[in-house]
A and B are shown apart, each in its own frame.
Chain A
Amino acid sequence: MKPPSDERQRWLDDPAHVTLIYRALVGTCLVLVGVGFLVAHGGHFWWEESAGFYAVYGFVSCVTLVLIAKGLRRVLKRPEDYYDR
């Protein structure tokens, strides 16, 4: 379906703005790791004391999650009417 052509353009419709958000996100992420050097860490495990453990773990685990899920799809995916046949 095509969006109505007489509709006003939204701020998010401009790809440049989406890129802007992306860059802001990258910036925020870096700042958060920077803050990690300043804040005293409390944790139960030694690796929680490091400045960016949660950053690394969050990023790596999500990429791994998506890559494994993509692989699983090759095995698990069936047509939408699979059970109706």
Chain B
Amino acid sequence: MIASIPPGWILLIGGLLVPLIPRRARPVWLLALPIASGAHLLTLPLGFQVTASWLGIDLMPVRVDGLSLPFGVVFHLAALLAVIYALHEDDLVQQGSALVYSGAAVAAVFAGDLLTLFVYWELTAVASALLVFAARTPRARSAGLRYLVIQVASGAFLLAGAVLQWHRSGSLAFTPLSLGTLAGSLVFLGFGIKCAFPLLHSWVQDAYPESTATGTVFLSVFTTKLAVYALARGYAGTPLLIGIGAVMTVFPIFYAVIENDLRRVLAYSLINQLGFMVVGIGIGTAMALNGAVAYAFCNVLFEGLLFMAMGAVLYRTGTVKGSELGGLYKSMPWTTAFCIVGAAAISGFPLVNGFISKPLILDAVADRHLLIAWFALVFASAGVFHHAGIKIPFFAFFAHDSGVRCREAPFNMLLAMGASAAVCIAIGIAPGLLYGLLPFPESYRPYAPSHVLAQTQLLFWAGLAFAWLVRSGIYPKEIPSVNLDADWTYRHVLPRSVRAGVARWQEARESVAGYARRVWAPVAKGVALGVGPDSAVARTWATGTAVLWVVFFLALFLLVYHLRYLS
């Protein structure tokens, strides 16, 4: 009976019921849901499947296997941590939609066919958009609308591809797909939008930083990692992904260096992180896929932790702009410490979880002797440390003292950050905890002396570069600004060209009408004489005259008729 509940549904239904729970019982309810849902998932054995038939189509609403399970586990872990982090909030919209969003993402990971996947895919889109809207600012409203359009479009591509696939092969099963077919390409594009492929990426840095302090933490976890899972399931070993992933690791770090909004810096770093996973999926060997899954798992934890730390800063000071912050370690020492753990983890320092997951991907790249990708990824690894590892904690908590004084983050936020940091360290010290969960057996030894040394050299010298650039004044200052990105095309160029186009059209219509009036006026006059309102044709006739004419024509007709037959 219990097993017949699809994974994620406890979160989904529980989230919808949140408004009915009395306020005082709500924290217990919110905490119980991810725990109950996670426990339920762990009762399902590997290989567990549920099949169904709907309108003659074979569906597989649930499929638990080695690839979906690690995502399911980390999604539950993240949901629990994020719920703790948001426990002080008293906003039904956020509490409800965050849980529905988490539940839909979990359910999507365990969907065994493309139609089921589509349904949950769109549900994550709608529920997560509510988290953006929940900030209730004009900026969040417009960013949320753009976000929603893009997310729903991603689902539309997925559905179109699924329908074509069904038409072609008679099956909707979510198994490896091919880019050689239109169906496969459409699904790929749908996944690519959610995975923030280059030029399809700008919704991440547009919408995520506009959500609430707690909403962004949820957002950073599910949508993009669901896309990583979907790519790993459908397109493992697709060489195109190696190139796409390598570009994703590199280009966002340039933006991250000059971005002032620290949550937007993290959004760029999120794209960079996804790039590593996408490269792993593109290589597609057992080690590379293990690397992609392991890195997704770890990223959920440390990227979530960094978003939590910046959320705490936003919650206490009202801003996360680098230009307005600095010296906060005096006010928020615990947040500072947890943020540094997250920063060390994302950078891949030994003893934290980034160190034991990223090298699986890098080694897989080196095994294939993919020279350009390898240099890009090592460059990006140094770059991650630069913008996420140093810039985030440095400009928020150290740098020059901004004079901002505030209280330490609320206890529940600290608890969530502390627990995240503890898990990051636990996995870093005991990699077996994570390796045992991966889709393929993994025997990698991250703590080989040469690897430890290589990574520490890279990071310390990258850190030295930062320190030297800051001390010599070369490092670009944090200044209030917006940097143009791909969203410029639809936020600036498109509206302007549409407006210009409409104006041009009206102008053209006016001039054509004027020309017509001048040239055609005499003609029109003539026509009006013939058939216009005052012309003979339009004149009204007395009934008697009309009858006379009818009789005349009838007589004429009869005459012609007889003449024809007489002759």
Residues of A near any B CB (own CB < 8 A) = 1-4, 7, 10, 12-13, 22, 25-26, 28-29, 32-33, 35-36, 39-45, 48, 52-59, 61-63, 65-70, 72-73, 75-80, 82-84
Residues of B within 8 A of A53 (CB): 454
Residues of A within 8 A of B454 (CB): 41, 43, 48, 53-54
Residue B439 interfacial (CB < 8 Å): no
Question: What would 11 A/B residue contacts be, using CB atoms closer than 8 Å?
Answer: A43-B450, A44-B363, A44-B369, A48-B454, A62-B465, A63-B469, A65-B257, A72-B483, A77-B258, A80-B480, A80-B481
Contact call B378/A57, Cβ cutoff below 8 A: yes
Instruction: Count A/B pairs, Cβ under 8 Å.
Output: 159
Contact call A22/B383, Cβ cutoff below 8 A: no
Instruction: Find A76's partner among B253, B258, B366, B460 (CB 8 Å cutoff).
Output: B258
Contact call A22/B467, Cβ cutoff below 8 A: yes
Residue B471 interfacial (CB < 8 Å): yes
Residues of B within 8 A of A59 (CB): 461-462, 464-465
Residues of B near any A CB (own CB < 8 A) = 139, 253-255, 257-258, 327, 329-330, 363, 366-367, 369, 374, 378-379, 382-383, 386, 398, 401-405, 448-451, 453-467, 469, 471, 474-476, 479-485, 491-492
Contact call A82/B382, Cβ cutoff below 8 A: no
Q: Nearest CB to that of B363 among chain A residues?
A: A44
Bound CA span A12–B326, Å:
13
A13, A41, A67, A83: most-surrounded residue (chain B CB, <10 A) = A83
Residues of B within 8 A of A61 (CB): 378-379, 382-383, 462
Contact call B457/A1, Cβ cutoff below 8 A: no
Contact call A72/B254, Cβ cutoff below 8 A: yes
With A77-B482, A80-B481 already in contact, 10 other A-B pairs whose C-beta atoms are closer than 8 Å: A1-B404, A13-B401, A40-B450, A43-B450, A55-B458, A57-B378, A66-B474, A67-B474, A69-B255, A80-B480
The secondary structure that dominates the B interface is helix
Contact call B383/A65, Cβ cutoff below 8 A: yes
Contact call B402/A26, Cβ cutoff below 8 A: no
Residues of B within 8 A of A57 (CB): 378-379, 382, 458
Bound CA span A26–B379, Å:
21
Q: What's the least CB distance linking B426 to chain A, in Å?
A: 26
Known interface pairs A62-B386, A68-B254. Does A76 touch B453 (Cβ–Cβ under 8 Å)? no
Bound CA span A4–B469, Å:
30
Q: What's the least CB distance linking B271 to chain A, in Å?
A: 15
Contact call A32/B456, Cβ cutoff below 8 A: yes
Residues of B within 8 A of A29 (CB): 460-461, 464
Bound CA span A60–B480, Å:
28
Q: Nearest CB to that of B260 among chain A residues?
A: A80
Residues of A within 8 A of B460 (CB): 25, 28-29, 32, 55, 58
B363, B451, B476: most-surrounded residue (chain A CB, <10 A) = B476
Q: Nearest CB to that of B404 among chain A residues?
A: A1
Bound CA span A76–B256, Å:
13
Q: What's the least CB distance linking A55 to chain B, in Å?
A: 4
Residues of A within 8 A of B139 (CB): 84
Q: What's the least CB distance linking B22 to chain A, in Å?
A: 41
Bound CA span A7–B405, Å:
11
Bound CA span A85–B503, Å:
19
Residues of B within 8 A of A76 (CB): 258, 483-485
Contact call B450/A66, Cβ cutoff below 8 A: no
Contact call B463/A25, Cβ cutoff below 8 A: yes
Residues of A within 8 A of B476 (CB): 66, 69-70, 73
Contact call B253/A42, Cβ cutoff below 8 A: no
Q: What's the least CB distance linking B339 to chain A, in Å?
A: 16
Contact call A73/B483, Cβ cutoff below 8 A: yes
Contact call A78/B465, Cβ cutoff below 8 A: no
Instruction: Find A66's partner among B327, B405, B455, B469 (CB 8 Å cutoff).
Output: B469
Contact call B253/A78, Cβ cutoff below 8 A: no
Contact call A54/B461, Cβ cutoff below 8 A: yes
Contact call B457/A32, Cβ cutoff below 8 A: yes
Contact call B465/A69, Cβ cutoff below 8 A: no
